[in-house]
Amino acid sequence: MPTPTDQPDHPVVTRFAPSPTGDLHVGGARTALFCWAYARGREGAFVLRIEDTDRKRSSAGAAREAMRDLAWLGLDWDQGPDPAGGERGDHGPYFQSERLPIYETHLERLLEADRAYHAFDTAEELDAKRAAARAQKVAYRYDRAGLEVPRAERLARAAAGEPHVIRFRTPDRPVVITDAVLGEATLPAGEVDDFIIRKADGFPTYHFAVVVDDALMGCSWVFRAQEHFNNTAKHLLLQEALGFDHPTYAHFPLIMNPDGSKMSKRDKDKAVRAEVRQRGIEAPPPDSIDPGTFSAWLSDKKAQLDHDDLVRLAAALDVQLPEINVRDFRRSGYLPEVLCNFLALNGWSPGDDLEKFDNAFLARSFELGRVQKTAARFDRDKLLAFNLDAIQAMSPEAFLDRVRAHGERYHPDFLARLGDRQFELLVESSRERSKTLDELFRTNHWLLEDDERLAWPVTKPVRKAMFKGEPTGLSLLAEVRALLEGTEPFESGHLETALGAWAAEHCEGNLGRIAQPLRIAVTGGPVSPPIFDTLEMLGRERVLRRLDRCLESLSATEEAG
């Protein structure tokens, strides 16, 4: 079988061909990344094709999101739909649903050559045969019942509009698959049955469309996940029947959870369900999701909540959802360049223990010989550590810009509540500890909290900071109020000087004695950015309001016991 890519100067054209049936999975993103890198490193072209022939499951919205995700990752394509409108490249359309006349032409060729045939089996007939195979514990293969109908009759019935599919007439011989990562495998004769190439709805099946498109779009290299490996036999046979060259195939290992399970959407439901069970929660928190939906979901271990509901419920319970799709990583505040770097390491390595690199390096260095054969395990802690390192290596200005852009997209309410100076203080004081761009929005809810609703549950650290020692933190708080009222301007540096002097006088220079009670009073908890920044971010008025309410609330508690 000739492979055009055997010729060294054959142009490299790779393609990524997502089915827009949901969000782009990280595994898909990794395939796209490798396709992109291979083409970019060899002056080739990278094609994006949207495989939307499954009309029930595909959506234009999902295709748009996939393009957005790819663009966010920095993976630009030379041919494919142009998100700004129209398309790039001369081999379009790049949505398969718009290519039906093209598929028809090639189907016609197969029908004429008697390499394909109309089959009129009903769903009931096929179901019965499948059930019989199951009962006999043998693998089901289509028995070519369709071919018992004479050819002229088949053509006449199809022309008369009788519902039918078109099947490929699979030659009865072994098929050898050659894969640039996995090596060679031979499928014995009879393994591939007469599979369907056009469905009853008139749409081609994946196998047919992919073969026609790869050929017409000049895709000389086909990279995809290992789950498609066996499909390759069908594709090779179709290419032969249609007189197309064979591309070079490479199938990449899957990306799994560390425990070897599949990284799937279900993991998110699992994480929330585990928290609900552990806390013995029987009803959804107020303002989260519908109670009926909640109990139906809780009682069925396999049930999955609608994504928005899941996000709402997780937020109400403060559960961090495991990221599965590119969109999840983006929302969680990972940097796209870090995600690309990390994804590349899931299945490939440049050697020499090199782990940190950018997409330009990947494009220069990526080769199929170093792609691993076995599944990769997705190590979230390592990803988080990579992200932290990248954030720490950033300039304060770059971090500010990126956090602001992240906030504008995911936390507009947060930004709307803070002035520029407050926001800059928050970002700068959180920079060194931030593992993601999202973290500071998640951990600083105290800033958004309504002053009148802030509460001080008496947890262990609160008890220690407020009620212990002589004088107690609470009494120091009452005393420091006047200072806060009078300090002008109410700015971090100024507050530091003033409170330092105050501590020297009132608590033997031990600033911690007043800093922690103050922090609890103004944030409701023991953790926040440095106290002077925290105070400035809130502003005098809010600080005093919170202080007064805290004094009132905790004095009552202290008296009570």
Dist. CA 495–CA 479, nearest whole Å: 15
Q: Of the two residues 68 and 506, which places its CB atom closer to ligand GLU in the complex? A: 68
- Give the Cβ contact number of residue 555 at 10 Å: 15
Q: Which is nearer to ligand GLU, 15 or 406 (CB)?
A: 15
Which of 48, 32, 33 is CA-nearest to residue 80? 48
**Shortest Cβ 51–ligand GLU spacing (Å):** 4
The residues of the shown chain that bind ligand GLU, judged by CB under 6 A, are 17-19, 51, 210, 224, 228
Q: Which is nearer to ligand GLU, 210 or 550 (CB)?
A: 210
Q: At its nearest, how many Å lie between ligand GLU and the CB of residue 69?
A: 14
80: phi > 0 → left, psi -120 to 50 → alpha, else beta; which? left
Whether 268 sits among the annotated catalytic residues: the reply is no
175 φ, ψ (degrees, to nearest 5): -125, 130
Q: How many C-beta atoms lie closer than 10 Å to residue 394's C-beta?
A: 16
Residues 6+ apart with CB under 8 A from 154: 117, 118, 119, 120, 146
Judged by beta carbon, residue 36 or residue 456, the one nearer ligand GLU is 36
3 state SS of 548: helix
Strand partners, 167: 117, 196
Pick 55 or 301: Cβ nearer ligand GLU: 55
Q: Distance between CA 391 and CA 338 in Å, rounded?
A: 10
Closest approach of Cβ 153 to ligand GLU, in Å? 35
Indicate the residue among 66 and 391 with the shorter CB distance to ligand GLU.
66
Cβ–Cβ under 8 Å, residues 367 and 347: no
Smallest distance, ligand GLU to C-beta of residue 176, A: 19
CB of 22 to ligand GLU, least distance (A): 10
Q: What backbone torsions phi and psi does residue 187 show, to the nearest 5 degrees?
A: -95, 125
Tell me the three-class secondary structure of 494-531, residue by residue: HHHHHHHHHHHHHCCCCHHHHHHHHHHHHHCCCCCCCH
Helix (H, G, I), strand (E, B) or coil at 45: strand
The distance of closest approach from Cβ of residue 196 to ligand GLU in the complex, given in angstroms and rounded to an integer, is 16
Task: Output 50 or 480, the one with its CB closest to ligand GLU.
Answer: 50
> Which residue's structure tokens are 């930004």?
415
Q: Which of 129, 137, 265, 302 is catalytic?
A: 265
| Shortest distance in whole angstroms from residue 58 CB to ligand GLU | 10
Which backbone phi and psi does 172 adopt, to 5 degrees? -90, 75
Tell me the catalytic residues: 265
